[in-house]
Each structure stands twice: as structure tokens, then as C-alpha cells.
Structure 1
Amino acid sequence: MTEQAATNAQPKFEIQRVYLKDMSLEQPNSPGILFTPENPQVDIQIALNAEQAGEGIYEVTLGVQVTAKQGEKVLFLVEIKQAGLFQILNVPQEQISSLMGITCPHILYPYARASVADVIQRAGFPPVHLQELDFHAMFQQQMARNQADTAKA
């Protein structure tokens, strides 16, 4: 095997691009809610989507939704989709799944956190600082759910 062929067969994982795919902010009860001193209830939802975008290129999108309410009144709703293009070559399929479910979201999450804090602060509220997430544990839970669903079918 030539050196060039050996190099071409090496596993490769590279970030091609990180970008903000979508962002929205809703404040349905402004401006009145800006003067309320109470601490809101904050709900945070995380979603992950991964799909092949080309030969050896995968797009991973991390969705973050933050909803703050005071009683039944919505103070704000922020939705962010932070995405990245990743080149993954010469990697077994089962490892590609873990790269897209653990490594890629771990790379994207700091960008999403910063965007969430920034847009909430620009809306006139104190920033919401998202806590670190254990994407490995989340991936393992999803795999267990998938296996349970397969066993039921």
C-alpha cells in the first residue's frame, strides 16, 4: 500500500462550517411584562437532527427552545437552530452515529448557548445561561429508547 493510499484510508473528522441556521424571539405580552419583578419559570427543550448533506458531509442541527412564563403569561420564547457541516470519512457507520450524536452537538452547543443568552438580553431580560449538557448520556438514552421501540415492533 502506498503512503497516499494509506493516508486516504485514515479516519477523518473535520468541521467544515458552523452556522446559525434559524433564530426567532417572541414576546407576546410586551411591554407590560418587562416591568414584572417576579422570577419566571423557564423551560428548556433540546432537539438534535443529523442528515447526510453530500458525499462524506453531514449536517447536524442542534435546536434549543427556551420558554419563560410568569404564571400563564409567556414572557418570551426563543428558538435557535445552530448547525454545522462536518466531514466524516473512512469511519464505521456505528461510529458515525456517535460522532453525530455526541461530538457534533458538543461542538455546536457553546454557539447556541451564546446566541440564546444574547438574544434574551437584547430583548430586555436578564440572560438565561444554559447549563452544560452531557451529550454522551443523552445519546445513550436515545439508543436505549430506539432499541426498546425496535423490540416492541
Structure 2
Amino acid sequence: MTENSNAAPEQKEPQFAIQRIYVKDVSFETPNSPAIFTEKWEPEVTVDLNSAATKLTDGVFEVLLTVTVTAKQGEKTVYLAEVQQAGIFAMSGFSENDQAGMVHSYCPNILFPYAREMVSDLVNKGSFPQMMLAPINFDALYAQHLQEQGQAPAVEETAH
């Protein structure tokens, strides 16, 4: 078989790899224990998310997802759980916009189940009822962030 000289040059296929997933920082506080255990369980729970990305080398990024869960009863903090779940991701062959979307949406989506499990374990070990965080639409959060910033996606050292 002969090679066809009219064939288009090969396009480089996008490549994505998870190099490492790890816990960067964990904190759990119960500032009003043990007295809080004697009160009726009617907490107000808030969840805050933040993600940041740092370019380590060409095509390699550390993505950090921070999940902070605060449970309060009135003015008293029942517990505060914070998890910084991180990952190192390698990618090549993506356009700049696609790469930014991968770093700020796709990668946090990979990290979230790990952070959710860690939060659940911390709350359980603190002797509180199970805390199961609902799934998060990181695509929508990233699109909202871009709209609020009124700017093109950026990959290096950004947070939303």
C-alpha cells in the first residue's frame, strides 16, 4: 500500500492525564462542643467553594478545590469543615480556551467527589449527622465566573 501524498497532516489529538490527586489541607473545628451536643439539632448549613489553578510547567497544572462547610445553630458555630483537595493534571493539544475550561471546570469536577467524601468523613468523625454534599455543576460556575469577570478565560493563577 502506498502513502497518499494528498492526505491532510495529522492533527494532534488532545491528551489529558491525571498525574496525582491529594489532600493539600484539612481542618475541622467544633468550637462549641460539648455543649452543642445537648441542643436540638436544627443547624443552618452553608457551603462555600473556591478553585484555583497554578501552571507548574508547560501543560501541567495543579488545581486546588477548596470546600468549606459551616453549620450554625443560631449564632453558635456547630462545626466548620474545610478541605483543600488538589490534583496535578497534564494536558496537551487543547486550544487556550479549552485548556482554561479543563482547568477551571473539568478538573474541579474530578476533585469534588474526593472533597465530598472527606467532608462527610470529618463531619461523621465529629459525631454529627451525615453531611452529603449535593453534586456541583462546575461548567455553570465557570461560565458564571467568566461572565462576571467580563474577560476571556485565563489559565495561570486564577481563582473563582
TM-score computed with the length of structure 2 as normaliser: 0.85
SS at match of 1:113: helix
User: Which protein is bigger by CA-based radius of gyration?
Assistant: 2
Aligned to 2:134: 131
SS at match of 1:104: helix
Query: Match for 2:50 among 36, 47, 52?
Result: 47
Shift of 1:92: 1.3
Aligned to 1:122: 125
Separation (CA, whole Å) in 1 of partners of 2:142 and 2:108: 10
Is 1:90 equivalent to 2:88 in the alignment?
Answer: no
Separation (CA, whole Å) in 2 of partners of 1:58 and 1:6: 26
Query: Match for 2:112 among 109, 113, 128?
Result: 109
Aligned to 1:68: 71
Offset from partner CA, 1:35-93 (integer Å, 9 cap, x none): 22231000110001011012321010110000000000001101100010000112111
Aligned to 2:6: none
CA RMSD of aligned residues (A): 1.6
Separation (CA, whole Å) in 1 of partners of 2:138 and 2:30: 30
Structure 1 residues without counterparts, runs of 5 or longer: 149-153
The range that moved more, 109-118 or 139-148, is 139-148
TM-score computed with the length of structure 1 as normaliser: 0.88
Q: How many residues align?
A: 143
Separation (CA, whole Å) in 2 of partners of 1:132 and 1:46: 12
Structure 2 residues without counterparts, runs of 5 or longer: 1-8, 152-160
Shift of 1:146: 1.2
Query: Match for 1:147 among 137, 140, 150?
Result: 150
Determine which structure has the larger helix proportion and give its number: 1
Aligned to 1:151: none
Shift of 1:6: 5.3
